[in-house]
Structure 1
Amino acid sequence: MRNTARWAATLGLTAAAVCGPLTGAAVASPSAAPASLYAPSALVLTTGHGSDAVTATPERAVTLTCAPTASGTHPAAAQACAELRGTGGDFDSLAPAPDVWCTKLYNPVVVTVEGVWQGKRVSYAHTFGNECMRNAYGAGVFAF
C-alpha cells in the first residue's frame, strides 16, 4: 500500500511539473507578440582530459549565448559566435587554423557542447589528440 501511495504522489507531482507551464500557454491571446525575434542560441561547452566524453574528467565549462548578441562566460564569445554562424552551427565543419603546428604527443582532450543553436537542440562531443589540436580547431569556439 505504501508503494502505491508513493507512486501516486510521484505521478501527481510529475504531471503538475510537466503540465503546469502548459496551462499558461493556453490562456495567451493570439495577438500577443513573441518575446524575441531571435531563435535562442545558448550553449554550454566543457573540456576535459580523457579518451571520450563518458570517461573524461571535466576541467572547465563556459557558457556561450549568440542571439541577439554574443555573451556568456566564453573568453572570446564574439569570435566563437561568428565562427559558428559561418558553419551554420555545424561543429564538425570548424576548420583548423592553417598556421598552427602541433606535436603528435597523445594526451586526449574531450570537448562537449550541449544546448540550443538557433532553436534546435545540440549535443556534440569530440576527442582531440592533445590540447594544441583542440585549440587549433575553431580557434574561437574551443579555445577556452
Structure 2
Amino acid sequence: MRYLRKTLGAIAVATGLACVGTATSGIAYAGAAQPASLYSPSALVLTVARGEAAGTATVERAVTLHCAPVPGGSHPSPAAACEELAAANGDLDRLTALPGDRPCTREWDPVTVTGDGVWQGKRVSWSATYSNTCEMRTRVAESAVLSF
C-alpha cells in the first residue's frame, strides 16, 4: 500500500510538471503568432482562364493584388482596384452584376475569371464563367479590379 501511494504520488508530480511544461510552451508560442501589422490581410490572386470550370481551366493571365496597408501587387491599377473592392465590400459578384451593352456572338468558347485569397481577413473564393472573351470583356469592362 505504501509503495502504491509513493508511485501514485510520483505519477501525479510527473503529470503536473508535464502540464506546466505544456502550458508554458503554449504561452511561449502564443507571442510568435502575433500579426506583423494592425491591418487585416487583403490579398487576392485574379486569373483569366480558358475553360468552363475554375478547377480545370487553363490559366492565360494572372495578377496579384494586395490592399493593406497600401495597394500593390502585379495588378496594373492596384489603387483603383482596391478602392473598387472596398466600395463593393470585397464582393466580386457586385463588380459583374450588370450586363454589358456591347453585342457579342453566341459562340461557346468559355472563359473563366477567378479571384482567390483574403479580403479584410475573410477567405474569398470567386469565379465567373462567360460564354466567350467578348462577353467577359463586356461584363468586366467597367471594373478596375477585373480589367487586367
Q: How far does the alpha carbon of each residue in 1:37-72 deviate from its partner, in whole angstroms, 9 at most, with x for none?
A: 210101111111111112211111110001111100
CA distance in 2, matches of 1:98, 1:128: 11
Q: 1:24 to 1:72 in 2, by over 3 A?
A: farther
1:140 is paired with a residue whose SS is coil
Give RMSD over aligned pairs: 2.6
Deviation of 1:104 after TM superposition, in Å, equals 3.2
User: What residue number does 1:55 align with?
Assistant: 56
Structure 2 unaligned residues grouped into runs of 5+: 1-25
Larger radius of gyration, structure 1 or 2? Answer: 2
User: What residue number does 2:132 align with?
Assistant: 130
Contact 1:113 1:125 in 2 (8 A): yes
CA distance in 2, matches of 1:134, 1:91: 14
Q: 1:116 to 1:104 in 2, by over 3 A?
A: same
Q: Percent identity?
A: 49
Pairs within 5 Å for 1:68-79: 68-79=69-80
User: What residue number does 1:25 align with?
Assistant: 29
User: What residue number does 1:142 align with?
Assistant: 146
Structure 1 unaligned residues grouped into runs of 5+: 1-21
Q: 1:108 to 1:23 in 2, by over 3 A?
A: farther
TM-score under structure 2 normalisation? 0.68
